[in-house]
Amino acid sequence: MTLDINRIRETLDHLLYRWLDVERLTRYPRYAEHDRATFDGVIELCARLAAEKFEPGNRLSDIREPAFDGTRVSLPEETAEACRAYNASGMPAAGQDYAHGGMQLPYIVEMAANSFFSAASIGLKAYSMLTVANANLLMAHGSETQKRVFAVPALEGRYFGTMNLSEPQAGSSLSDIATRAVPDGADFAADPLGPRYRLTGTKMWISGGEHELGENIIHLVLAKVPDEAGRLPPGTRGISLFVVPRLLLDASGAPTGERNDIALAGLNHKLGYRGTVNTLLNYGEGRFPLRAPGGTDGAGAIGYRVGDLGAGLKCMFHMMNEARIQVGLGAAMLGYAGYLASLDYARQRPQGRPTAEGATPAKDASQPPIAIVEHPDVKRMLLAQKAYAEGALAFELYCALLVDEQHGDQPARADEARLLLDLLTPVAKSWPSEWCLEGNSLAIQVLGGYGYTRDFPVEQHWRDNRLNMIHEGTHGIHALDLLGRKVLMKDGEALRILFGRIGATAAAAAAVDGLQPLARQLSAAVEIVALATAEAWRSGSARAALTNATGYLRAFGHMVLAWIWLDLAIVSAQALTAAGTAADFHRGKLAAARYFFAYELPLVAAWLAPVRACDSLCRETATDWL
Amino acid sequence: MTLDINRIRETLDHLLYRWLDVERLTRYPRYAEHDRATFDGVIELCARLAAEKFEPGNRLSDIREPAFDGTRVSLPEETAEACRAYNASGMPAAGQDYAHGGMQLPYIVEMAANSFFSAASIGLKAYSMLTVANANLLMAHGSETQKRVFAVPALEGRYFGTMNLSEPQAGSSLSDIATRAVPDGADFAADPLGPRYRLTGTKMWISGGEHELGENIIHLVLAKVPDEAGRLPPGTRGISLFVVPRLLLDASGAPTGERNDIALAGLNHKLGYRGTVNTLLNYGEGRFPLRAPGGTDGAGAIGYRVGDLGAGLKCMFHMMNEARIQVGLGAAMLGYAGYLASLDYARQRPQGRPTAEGATPAKDASQPPIAIVEHPDVKRMLLAQKAYAEGALAFELYCALLVDEQHGDQPARADEARLLLDLLTPVAKSWPSEWCLEGNSLAIQVLGGYGYTRDFPVEQHWRDNRLNMIHEGTHGIHALDLLGRKVLMKDGEALRILFGRIGATAAAAAAVDGLQPLARQLSAAVEIVALATAEAWRSGSARAALTNATGYLRAFGHMVLAWIWLDLAIVSAQALTAAGTAADFHRGKLAAARYFFAYELPLVAAWLAPVRACDSLCRETATDWL
């Protein structure tokens, strides 16, 4: 069973060019040298690389998960091959300036192109995703030397990068991190690579934390600098950011020949995403003792501060909206891959007969069986997957476009895009993580017993996708962010922008034959979400409002996706009135939209019931009652 | 992390003795020699065996999944030890007559006792579950010789048993099975073990199909006897049942020394349930050629017909209600195990601070972190799991009691129990399979990144539980059964019985302080389900009615579980008014009931929306649009 890359390509083309009119971005000065041909070239390249270099290693890297013999991490050769192919493609620098060897590609096109890798093998893709995020952060916040020494080699495909936030005792609560960074000698501030520190502490869940796939690994590490009494400053304002290379480099970027004191303490053995090595790293435990260039006692891994003291989280979160779009897009593509695999199976698998016309559910066993795709309940499971995956993909691309619109020359539009993206980010991260996971479960169900075996890819999609509700901020954290901060921003301005855009879609749909009931249903959903927002906050107490934040996130997300689907339905309804050869394609989009409105949107009111009632059950249940 | 067996025991005692008053069963003549002490003895024995012999092998048998070297299946020694302990306990014959060496234990007590094994290791438990189902079927439908030779050794714990229904091309559609059984020689009807046939064909998904854990494996196999022209009769009426031993036996039950021609064609490598070897079996491929006792050409595995020609499915389905209670109970116990594991973690894991009182969601980072069980969203995830798992367990025991009530001496009550159980069986199989799986996902979420690793049991629970929506009739098949047959039985008589019992609970709750709103909400749910039943069937066309059967099953299931929870809430509310030491226990039940009514029951109306509208989308969407 091979991933249907062309099918994904067809949907991407539709979304990019017909729905979002991405070509208009070439009117922005930053993207002026691009045209559809250059966009298509990148998309084609990635489609081909994903099919040829990522998909073949997907199952294999799941079965032969990373192993550590106490000295070295071993990965399948297919992992190295996939990473090499990606690094050689120029994609790591896709979004960078021409001046730094980049392509200056719009973010939405970069995301569309990268989506093939997520569909083909999300576990193998994570190495490059993290590396690019790391390098982009350094390009945004590092000194010129830090950019040249640590980031440019990564953008050239020679180095790998990681993000070190969590610790065993601090995941969601970053304010509690305990990794210490102390100035390395009296001359610590004079190092050309940046203020030099010695780091000690343990970092957990570090993807790509140790391997030998490239020339070096550049770790970006959050840590705290103790005060004069040796105490770590409380809260997130005490957090600084450090760049900590696995192999030490001099100011020219040449290896010094020394290994930094970063020890692999163990691998995490995961449910999914097994293609990505995930590590527990000990910084400065003394496994790789260093000569002490700064004259301190020599303990600790050497790291160079990036940005100001205490500005670590700000630097890290600068990139977070984009990282969350990537998580959401990855979840969407796993959903898409599961949809296509189960659709393919359902078309080929004969079993059962149609229910005969009549008052009793009779079947004629003398007739040959039909393909299971013909059974209404199988169609339901396929329509649900299509609605989840294609809807999520469309939504993530919409969010990516909001990133690009911030580069436009109309400041008001750029500000609106920034504010709207801030509001939508918790949904962009969470919605595909929850619903495309559900879609992956439906894919297993379509395949029945076969879906439960490793002979088909759908069980791996389901396992892989389960991570997405956990990493980059858990589901519950994003719910608090949405209801506790985002809908309140600027006195509700972001929410007003969103409701304005949804209203415009509903108004447009009201003029399209057949879409009027959907337009009314969407307007009613907006009304109830607006009401619930006010009702949740009516007591003025954050504690009360946020008790049911997760139900609010779910309802809000379904409202947003209903908006996306109605907008897509308008495009397809219009395309169908024109003469065209792709009638099936557009009827499929309309069917998925109708599915979403008939089967999913009614859930919004149910999820909001406890939100609107300010139900205190989940606050007031004593832990001893559980 | 060890399974909290005592906690399960406490809930079981509450359900059996306080809620369902199981002691009254001892007034039935069949159970007259029992009392609470004998019930408790069995329950204690199983609790201990599960903790000592099943739980320790659970993860190990997941990681070291069954392997086949072309000759022998290898399983971990822990698997053999668990099976030996179970077989030696007397439990295989728990429900059998004293005359056959059994305990004549009520079915509900047998189920309660067996529930510990599912919580401890569902994969290791499957061997005995299948063996007992196999032996019970033979005891009900076999000849005296078949009982003595094939079933009694299984009840004594010496033989293992399997059920062979599916084939690679026929899972849900048993009418399409192609395994052939031809009379074995002119004297085939004279064999003391039953009419002797030669079987050829391939059986898929056979759990326990090949291993060397016991002295023999007794396969029960569905096959078709061809007509004179060699054609297999179409439909399910052409299906007969055969007992096919792995090692041939003579009429005295002694091994003949010959191996039957049953070849292991391969193992299925599964997402979960890996403790259970799952096989593809070739009957009669010639791998183990047999001397031809019947004078035919010697091809085919030797099998003895059980019951009449064409009565195979009837015999098999005789036991099906009980098998489905067991699947539902297994799913419930996986949900319970996940709940207890995540509750334990949440109590011990410090992270984050409470949201401060005030208008903005502030936290005081200088305060020490609290245990995550204190966070409202974590409580929500724990309450949901508790509502799913404890509700499902209560419901399965209620269904098991309906089995026992059929043995009572009041024919009217026995008939009512039979009819009600027929109606509830699709829910008993499906509801825990869907919602305790969701609970297992929430358990992962509570543990965050740790839940995604093999260091904790919750990811295995989730994988194991994913099978339950697939085997013993898929979710969609049970939905068709419920809306297409069960609610219509005897002109809706079963539905009226159910609504009567729900109404009685609602009436009782209306008299209990604090439960009135729940009583009203339950009555409203019944009303809308009743309405939806009529609306689905309003056109009189089964094809139209069944298009949205799965949404109906979900809504119906939530109505049933709301009823169970309200009934449980009455018991706990009453217990709280009496002086007692277990106030936390009962407040927990009330909190779970409140959770279910506030957060879950509102979903019923949303799921029924397309059912009530007779939405034709999933019937009329063309496959080319997908």
Over the stretch A585-616, which tens digit does the pLDDT of each residue have? 999 999 999 999 999 999 999 999 999 999 99
For chain A, which domains are there? 5-141 (1.10.540.10), 160-309 (2.40.110.20), 320-348+371-448+480-619 (no CATH)
What band does A1 get if pLDDT is binned at 50, 70 and 90?
low
Q: Is the Cβ–Cβ distance between B99 and B90 less than 8 Å?
A: no
Query: Looking at residue A66, what is its pLDDT?
Result: 97
Which residue is closest to A354 within chain B, CA to CA?
Answer: B543
User: Could you report the per-residue pLDDT of B452-507, keeping only the tens digit for each?
Assistant: 999 999 999 999 999 999 999 999 999 999 999 999 999 999 999 999 999 999 99
Query: Looking at residue B321, what is its pLDDT?
Result: 83
Identify from A380, A430, A445 which residue to disrupt to test chain B contact, counting B C-beta atoms within 10 A and taking the largest count. A380
3-state secondary structure of A218: strand
Percent with pLDDT over 90 in chain B? 92
Contact at CB, A365 and B235, closer than 8 angstroms:
yes
Contact at CB, B271 and A466, closer than 8 angstroms:
no
Identify from A203, A452, A471, A614 which residue to disrupt to test chain B contact, counting B C-beta atoms within 10 A and taking the largest count. A452
Contact at CB, A452 and B466, closer than 8 angstroms:
yes
B residues 131-160 lying closer than 8 A (beta carbon) to A: none
Which residue is closest to B343 within chain A, CA to CA?
Answer: A626
CB-hemisphere CA count at 13 Å for B564?
Answer: 27
B494 CA: distance to closest CA in chain A (Å): 17
Please compute Rg for chain A using Cα positions.
25
User: What average pLDDT does the segment B198-225 reach?
Assistant: 98
A residues 533-572 lying closer than 8 A (beta carbon) to B: 540-543, 546-551
Contact at CB, B617 and A591, closer than 8 angstroms:
yes
The overall average pLDDT reported for chain A is 96
Which residue of A268, A587, A599 is in closest CB contact with B453?
A268
Given a cut of 80, whether residue A296 has pLDDT beyond it is: no
E strands along B404-529, which residues? none
Cα(B138)–Cα(B151) distance, integer angstroms = 6
User: What b-and-e string marks burial along A37-69, b requiring 16 or more CB atoms within 10 Å of the CB?
Assistant: eebbebbeebbebbbebbbbbbbebbebbbeee
The overall average pLDDT reported for chain B is 96
B370/A contact by beta carbon, under 8 A = no
Query: Looking at residue B357, what is its pLDDT?
Result: 81
B368/A contact by beta carbon, under 8 A = no
> What residues of chain B lie within 8 A of the CB of A234, using their CB?
365-366
Given a cut of 70, whether residue B300 has pLDDT beyond it is: yes
Query: Looking at residue B114, what is its pLDDT?
Result: 97
User: Could you report the per-residue pLDDT of B182-198, keeping only the tens digit for each?
Assistant: 999 999 999 999 999 99
Given a cut of 70, whether residue B292 has pLDDT beyond it is: no
User: What b-and-e string marks burial along B495-505, b requiring 16 or more CB atoms within 10 Å of the CB?
Assistant: bebbbeebeeb
B52/A contact by beta carbon, under 8 A = no
B186/A contact by beta carbon, under 8 A = no
Range name among B110-124, B434-448, B566-580 with the lowest pLDDT average: B566-580
DSSP symbol at B52: I
> What residues of chain A lie within 8 A of the CB of B610, using their CB?
598-599
User: Could you report the per-residue pLDDT of B354-381, keeping only the tens digit for each?
Assistant: 988 888 888 888 889 999 999 999 999 9
Cα separations in angstroms, A612 against A479, A498, A534, A608, B596? 15, 21, 9, 6, 16
User: Could you report the per-residue pLDDT of A495-505, keeping only the tens digit for each?
Assistant: 999 999 999 99
Query: Looking at residue B293, what is its pLDDT?
Result: 60
Q: Residues B226, B232, B235, B240: is their CA dihedral positive or negative?
A: positive
Given a cut of 80, whether residue B119 has pLDDT beyond it is: yes
Query: Looking at residue A295, what is its pLDDT?
Result: 53
B231/A contact by beta carbon, under 8 A = no
A residues 61-80 lying closer than 8 A (beta carbon) to B: none
Q: Is the Cβ–Cβ distance between A439 and A488 less than 8 Å?
A: no
Range name among A148-162, B356-370, B525-539 with the lowest pLDDT average: B356-370
- Closest of B154, B30, B23, B42 to residue B99, by C-alpha: B30
Residue A27: both structure tokens together = 């009117």
Percent with pLDDT over 70 in chain A? 98
A625/B contact by beta carbon, under 8 A = yes
Residue B54: both structure tokens together = 């099943």
Q: What is the pTM of this model?
A: 0.98
Contact at CB, B624 and A584, closer than 8 angstroms:
yes
Query: Looking at residue A364, what is its pLDDT?
Result: 84
Contact at CB, B470 and A444, closer than 8 angstroms:
yes
User: What average pLDDT does the segment B34-48 reach?
Assistant: 98
Contact at CB, B271 and A463, closer than 8 angstroms:
yes
Contact at CB, A351 and B171, closer than 8 angstroms:
yes
B369/A contact by beta carbon, under 8 A = yes
Cβ partners under 8 Å of residue A163, min gap 6: A130, A133, A134, A206, A207, A220, A316
Given a cut of 80, whether residue B558 has pLDDT beyond it is: yes
Query: Looking at residue A293, what is its pLDDT?
Result: 60
DSSP symbol at B478: H
User: What average pLDDT does the segment A4-29 reach?
Assistant: 96
User: What average pLDDT does the segment B208-221 reach?
Assistant: 98
Given a cut of 60, whether residue A128 has pLDDT beyond it is: yes
Range name among A324-333, B263-272, B359-368, B438-447 with the lowest pLDDT average: B359-368
Query: Looking at residue B578, what is its pLDDT?
Result: 84
User: Could you report the per-residue pLDDT of B368-426, keeping only the tens digit for each?
Assistant: 999 999 999 999 999 999 999 999 999 999 999 999 999 888 899 999 999 999 999 99
Given a cut of 80, whether residue B294 has pLDDT beyond it is: no
Contact at CB, B236 and A588, closer than 8 angstroms:
no
Residue A142: both structure tokens together = 């590092």
Q: Is the Cβ–Cβ distance between B35 and B26 less than 8 Å?
A: yes
Query: Looking at residue A476, what is its pLDDT?
Result: 97
Query: Looking at residue B37, what is its pLDDT?
Result: 98
A449 CA: distance to closest CA in chain B (Å): 6
Contact at CB, B617 and A541, closer than 8 angstroms:
no
User: Could you report the per-residue pLDDT of B132-166, keeping only the tens digit for each?
Assistant: 999 999 999 999 999 999 999 999 999 999 999 99
Q: Is the Cβ–Cβ distance between A301 and A425 less than 8 Å?
A: no
Contact at CB, A366 and B474, closer than 8 angstroms:
no
> What residues of chain A lie within 8 A of the CB of B374, using their CB?
623
User: Could you report the per-residue pLDDT of A313-351, keeping only the tens digit for each?
Assistant: 999 987 888 889 999 999 999 999 999 999 999 999 999
Left if phi > 0, otherwise alpha if psi is -120 to 50, otherwise beta: which for B363? beta
Identify from A547, A548, A618 which residue to disrupt to test chain B contact, counting B C-beta atoms within 10 A and taking the largest count. A618
Residue B378: both structure tokens together = 């974590």
Residue B200: both structure tokens together = 């050829």
> What is the biggest distance separating any 2 CA atoms in chain A, rounded to whole angstroms?
90
Which residue is closest to B467 within chain A, CA to CA?
Answer: A452
Query: Looking at residue B199, what is its pLDDT?
Result: 97
Query: Looking at residue B362, what is its pLDDT?
Result: 83
Q: Is A293 exposed, middle or buried (0-12, 13-18, 19+ CB in 10 A)?
A: middle
ipTM of the complex: 0.98
